[in-house]
C-alpha cells in the first residue's frame, strides 16, 4: 500500500495571500479614471450581440412564471439596418427590424407593420423593451450623476451606475455594457463576432419598408416645396 503525506495548509498564510490579492485589485481599481462622455460606447457599424435575461429563483415572493417570458434578444447590425430576434419561453420568436428611421415588425394579422421613429426621445429609465432602434438597450438612462464607482463585475472592471430600481455595469476598457438590472431582472450582454455580410430584409419586411420609405420621401419633398414658398 502506498501512503501519501498530506502537508497541512497554513490558513494564516492563505488568508494573508487572499487579502493581499484583494488589496492589489482594489488598488488597481482606484487607478482607473472616472467615466466621461459618452458613458456608453456607440454600437459599431457592424456588430452582433445577445442580451440574456436572468430571473430571480422561484420563491414565495417570486412565484414561477408561465410561458411567454423573455429569454433573450439576439441583435445584428450592419450599416443602418438592424435585426432583433426575440426569444420567449414556450418557443415564441419575434423578429423586429430597424431600417433607416423605420421600425418594422410582424403584426397580429400576419403581415408586417412599420412605424416612423423620428423624434422619439430616449427613455430616462432602464427600458423594459429589449428591442431598441439606437444604441444598446437598458442604458439610455445613464448620466454622470448616476455614476457610483468602479467595481469588479463578471471578472472585469466596470463603471457601476445606480438609480432607484435600475443598475448598470459598463466595461471600463471597451465602454460596452456588461449587464444592467431593472427591478429583479438582470440583463447580461454577450458580444459575438461581427457579421461578415450586409443584412437583407425578408420579402414581407422589404415590401413594407419600400412602401413607408416612399411615403416619407414624398412627405419630405412636399415640406421642402412649402418651405420655399414662405
pLDDT digits (tens, 9 = 90+) for 91-148: 999 999 999 888 999 988 989 998 888 755 555 554 556 788 888 999 999 999 999 9
CA distances from 104 to 73, 200, 215 (A): 16, 13, 15
Where do the domains of the chain lie? 46-220
Mean pLDDT value across the chain: 83
Question: Which residue would you say has higher pLDDT here, 154 or 119?
Answer: 154
In this prediction, residues 17-25 reach a mean pLDDT of: 45
What pLDDT is stored for residue 125 in this prediction?
52
Assess contact for 51 and 72: CB atoms under 8 A.
Answer: yes
Lowest mean pLDDT among 73-87, 119-133, 195-209: 119-133
Say what the pLDDT of residue 72 is: 95
- Please, where are the H alpha helices in 31-134? none
Give, as one character, the DSSP assignment of residue 192: -
- Angle made by CA atoms 94, 96, 98, in degrees to the nearest 5: 175
pLDDT at position 36 is: 93
Please classify residue 72 by burial: count the beta carbons closer than 10 Å to its beta carbon, then call 0-12 exposed, 13-18 middle and 19+ buried. middle
pLDDT of 164-175, one tens digit each?
A: 889 999 999 999
The side-by-side arrangement of strands in the sheet containing 147-153 is: 112-116, 102-106, 93-99, 81-88, 70-78, 46-54, 185-191, 177-182, 166-171, 156-163, 147-153
Q: What pLDDT does residue 226 have? A: 65
Count CA within 13 A, CB hemisphere, residue 160.
12
Is the N-terminal amide bond of 155 cis, ω within 30° of 0? no
Q: How confident is the model at residue 24 (pLDDT cuts 50, 70, 90)?
A: very low
- Residue 118, pLDDT score: 75
Pick the CATH number of 46-220 from 3.40.5, 3.30.230, 3.30.43, 2.50.20: 2.50.20
**Which pTM was predicted?**
0.78
* Mean pLDDT value across residues 204-210: 94
| Average pLDDT for 42-65 | 84
For residue 146, the 8-state DSSP code is G
Amino acid at each position: 500500500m502506498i501512503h501519501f503525506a498530506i502537508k497541512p495548509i497554513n490558513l494564516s498564510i492563505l488568508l494573508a495571500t487572499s487579502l493581499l490579492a484583494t488589496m492589489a485589485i482594489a488598488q488597481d481599481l482606484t487607478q482607473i479614471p472616472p467615466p466621461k462622455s459618452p458613458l456608453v460606447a456607440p454600437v459599431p457599424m457592424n456588430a452582433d450581440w445577445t442580451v440574456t435575461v436572468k430571473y430571480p429563483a422561484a420563491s414565495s415572493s417570486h412565484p414561477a412564471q408561465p410561458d411567454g417570458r423573455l429569454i433573450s434578444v439576439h441583435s445584428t447590425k450592419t450599416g443602418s439596418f438592424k435585426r432583433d430576434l426575440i426569444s420567449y419561453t414556450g418557443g415564441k420568436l419575434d423578429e423586429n427590424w430597424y431600417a433607416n428611421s423605420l421600425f418594422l415588425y410582424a403584426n397580429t394579422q400576419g403581415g408586417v407593420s412599420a412605424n416612423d421613429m423620428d423624434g422619439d426621445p430616449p427613455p430616462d429609465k432602464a427600458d423594459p423593451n429589449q428591442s431598441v432602434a439606437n444604441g444598446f438597450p437598458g442604458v439610455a438612462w445613464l448620466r454622470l450623476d448616476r455614476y457610483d464607482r468602479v467595481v469588479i463585475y463578471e471578472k472585469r472592471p466596470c463603471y457601476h451606475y445606480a438609480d432607484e430600481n435600475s443598475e448598470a455595469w459598463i466595461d471600463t476598457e471597451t465602454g460596452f455594457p456588461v449587464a444592467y438590472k431593472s427591478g429583479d431582472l438582470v440583463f447580461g450582454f454577450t458580444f459575438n463576432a461581427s457579421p461578415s455580410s450586409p443584412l437583407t430584409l425578408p420579402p414581407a419586411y422589404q415590401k413594407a419598408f419600400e412602401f413607408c420609405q416612399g411615403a416619407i420621401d414624398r412627405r419630405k419633398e412636399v415640406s421642402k416645396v412649402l418651405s420655399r414658398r414662405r
